[in-house]
Structure 1
Amino acid sequence: MSPETDSVGGADGLADGERLRAVVRALAAAVLLAGVGIAVGGILVLAAAFVLGLSGVDITPLLSIVLSLALATGVGFGGVALAYLRYRGQGLDYVGVAVPSLREVAFVIAGYVAAMGLLVVASVIISTTGAEAAPNTAAEVGMQNPEILLLLVPASLLLIGPGEELLYRGVVQNRLGEALPAPAAIVLASLIFASIHYFSLAGAPRARLVSISVLVLPTLVFGTVYELTDNIVVPALIHGIYNATLFSMLYLTLQFAGSEQFPQALVAGVF
């Protein structure tokens, strides 16, 4: 082997090593951001509940949901995302924030239809195979206290969609995309996002894994649409409308048909 070939091989080896390190750093940052978002949100909710408890305030299911939405999803996820951007010297242009154009409105509609369609397909598969899916705890509390579902509808648009998308699409997916091809970044970000919902599901571990597999499907839609538009408002709207639809359907079903009429996969599909 000639010296020139050795030199080229060495350069390729160095480049491969640098690429691998970049991928590992991006993946570690993505997982860390997801974990910190959950931890900060949980700490804020527990701290608020503790202070309210000391003040003699009764923590009702409604108040518990309000605290979770405002502190965990809004302040926790959104705050961690903004803190990370500040740490890296980036502004909101890193995630892309703009009023949707007509083209992007079309993406919102198409993404919503695709997300709901995939959820229906998952529901059919689960019903056919007899698999058990674990319900989302917020949806479960809502089934016991239907008035909470009416709060969750606007909260999906104002807090859940924006907060979760800012962190998991705007920051986590973008960070992975710095070292990986877009399809890989979308899939990994979706898996991370769906996996962190393990702790917000109620049920046996196997049922939770079934629900996580359901959650991955619409999440892939959110990530793909974000990649195509570079505007975080677009997946935030799809996510918010998607959740609002499920909460509305659940409320109407409880009022007119009973909880046993609502497919378990649709309850599990809320996030």
Structure 2
Amino acid sequence: MESATSSGSQSSGSRGRAVLVAAGLAILGLGLASIISIPVALAYSALTNTAVGDLGIVAGLAISLVSLHGIAFPLVAWGYVRRRGVGWSFVPASMPSLSAVKYIVGGYLGAFGALIVISMLVALLAVEPAQNSAGTAALENPGIIPYLVVLQFLLVGPGEELLFRGIIQGSLREHFDAWPAILLTSMVFAPIHITALSGGPAAVATTIGILFVPSIVFGYLYEKTDNIVVPALTHGLYNATLFGITYLGTQIEQTPELLAL
């Protein structure tokens, strides 16, 4: 029979490995996306008869969304469940019930309400958040916003939630209680957005910190409903609303404060 000290040491080691695996899965997703983006860019270039070096910000954004959320994240998730031999039952998914819809609405309102409070606090403290490449592209090219809204539901929400809530939070949940798993997942989720941010270290750190808020909400929704469709839809709705605000900002020729967040 193992001693309490030995058992505790093994448990601590198992948890440490789980956290490293979680971080590794996110990094693997980013690395895989950078590789996948090459053939995707070449295919886009061939279809549009445009030189790869002349694709521009809109094409670059489209290539990034497809490569990262549409291909890389799902591939990493597939590789994880295949390697462990657990199948897709590891990530429960079903049509949301009426009670689940209530969670979607409540989560959306909670996340967006928190964002409004944070935007006022950021303005009060005169903190400058980092610029987001998707937001910048949308401001400069308002015509792409309807497409970006659709992609939040088709690619971004499903892709990010599948990997981060379904796989990463699900794997951490095997070693931690609910809230530690949700917080650890958010500590992995928020920093990976650094690839889409531009600005000084303080600005980037501010934006990454802000991203913890919706991440915690999405993690909570997954924990409560055990249905990946719920945070995926909430995530898509949340992002789509921000792009909707962006579009309104372009019509009145003002940059909404929420866009910076």
TM range (shorter): over 0.9
RMSD between aligned residues? 1.6
Kept in 2, the 8 Å contact 1:37–1:80? The answer is yes
Determine the structure 1 residue equivalent to 2:56.
60
CA distance in 2, matches of 1:74, 1:53: 18
Q: Does 1:113 align with 2:109?
A: yes
Q: Does 1:151 align with 2:147?
A: yes
Within-5 A mapping of 1:81-160: 81-160=77-156
Determine the structure 1 residue equivalent to 2:206.
210
Determine the structure 2 residue equivalent to 1:49.
41
Encode CA deviations 1:127-159: one digit per residue, 9 max, x unaligned. 000001012111111111111222110000111
CA distance in 2, matches of 1:268, 1:78: 28
Give how far 1:61 is off.
Answer: 2.6
Q: Does 1:245 align with 2:241?
A: yes
What is the DSSP-based 3-state SS (H/G/I as helix, E as strand, rest coil) of the residue aligned with 1:259? coil
Kept in 1, the 8 Å contact 2:104–2:233? The answer is yes
Determine the structure 2 residue equivalent to 1:258.
253
Encode CA deviations 1:220-255: one digit per residue, 9 max, x unaligned. 000011101110000000000000000011011111
TM-score w.r.t. structure 1 length?
Answer: 0.90
Determine the structure 2 residue equivalent to 1:12.
4
Determine the structure 1 residue equivalent to 2:15.
23
Determine the structure 1 residue equivalent to 2:182.
186
CA distance in 1, matches of 2:143, 2:64: 16
CA distance in 2, matches of 1:20, 1:99: 37
CA distance in 2, matches of 1:139, 1:149: 9
CA distance in 2, matches of 1:237, 1:52: 28
Kept in 1, the 8 Å contact 2:245–2:259? The answer is no
After superposing on structure 2, the runs of 4+ consecutive aligned residues of structure 1 that deviate more than 6 Å are none
TM-score w.r.t. structure 2 length?
Answer: 0.94
Residue 162 (structure 2) aligned to one of 166, 178, 188 = 166
Determine the structure 2 residue equivalent to 1:4.
none
Mark the structure with the bigger radius of gyration: 1
Counterparts in 2 of 1:37 and 1:113: CA distance versus 1, 3 Å: same
CA distance in 1, matches of 2:57, 2:209: 28
CA distance in 2, matches of 1:52, 1:109: 37
Question: In structure 2, what residue type is equivalent to 1:178?
Answer: E
Question: In structure 2, what residue type is equivalent to 1:213?
Answer: G
Determine the structure 2 residue equivalent to 1:267.
259
Kept in 2, the 8 Å contact 1:30–1:172? The answer is yes
CA distance in 1, matches of 2:70, 2:190: 18
What is the DSSP-based 3-state SS (H/G/I as helix, E as strand, rest coil) of the residue aligned with 2:3? helix
What percent of counterpart residues are identical?
Answer: 38
Determine the structure 2 residue equivalent to 1:222.
218
Kept in 2, the 8 Å contact 1:202–1:208? The answer is yes
CA distance in 2, matches of 1:217, 1:268: 15
Give how far 1:210 is off.
Answer: 0.3
CA distance in 2, matches of 1:62, 1:161: 20
Question: Unaligned stretches of 5+ in structure 2?
Answer: none
CA distance in 2, matches of 1:259, 1:205: 26
CA distance in 2, matches of 1:48, 1:220: 32
Encode CA deviations 1:200-219: one digit per residue, 9 max, x unaligned. 11111110100011110111
